């Protein structure tokens, strides 16, 4: 059975601290939406708040984290550079906030988003 929680602190005097997989996904997702050039992987607008965790798959094994992200990239941004910037930002942020080591951040760029896509959607809405 997959573990949904990871213990990050266990002090017999003070108690346990555990962190859920969703929290890690949200932290990673928020870091990801901060990177310039990142666009929603499906149509519509970029998810905000806790919904950003849908961008991220989290695997935890023996206190180590592996992340996989699916994103779109805005047309005009260098795809490979955006993907690598994502890896760095997401790893840094998750490690900083959870103190769990992140071994891997896989990024899949699933589409490119052209500027007129947003405009067309607005007109319909």
Partner 1 sequence: MAEQRWETPQPLGLVAVRQEVLTAIAARAMAGVEGVRPLRGGGGIIGILAGSDEGVQISIRGNVADVELRIAVVLGYSVHRVAQAVQRRVREDLEGLVGIAVGRVDVYVRHVIPPEEVLMLEERGEDAEG
Q: Summarize as ranges the residues that interact with partner 1 (CB under 8 A).
A: 66-67, 73, 75-81, 83-84, 87-88, 91, 104-112, 114, 116, 120, 123
Considering the complex, state which of residue 27 and residue 83 has its C-beta at the smaller distance from partner 1: 83
- Closest approach, Cβ 16 to partner 1, in A, equals 30
Instruction: Rank residues 19 and 39 by Cβ distance to partner 1 and give the closer one.
Output: 39
Q: Is 10 helix (H, G, I), strand (E, B) or coil?
A: strand
Beta carbon nearer to partner 1, 7 or 110: 110
The answer to whether 67 and 27 are in contact (CB under 8 A) is no
Q: 25 to each of 28, 31, 118, how far by Cα in Å?
A: 5, 10, 26
Q: Are 51 and 102 in contact (CB under 8 A)?
A: no
């Amino acid at each position: 059975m997959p573990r949904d929680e990871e213990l990050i602190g266990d002090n017999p005097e003070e108690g346990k601290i555990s962190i859920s997989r969703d929290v890690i996904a949200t932290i990673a997702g928020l870091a990801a939406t901060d990177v310039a050039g990142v666009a929603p992987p499906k149509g519509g607008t970029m998810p905000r708040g806790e919904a950003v965790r849908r961008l991220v798959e989290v695997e935890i094994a023996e206190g180590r984290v592996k992340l996989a992200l699916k994103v779109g990239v805005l047309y005009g941004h260098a795809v490979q550079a955006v993907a690598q910037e994502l890896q760095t930002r997401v790893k840094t942020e998750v490690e900083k906030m959870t103190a769990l080591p992140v071994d891997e951040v896989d990024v899949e760029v699933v589409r490119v988003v052209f500027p007129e896509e947003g405009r067309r959607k607005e007109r319909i809405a």
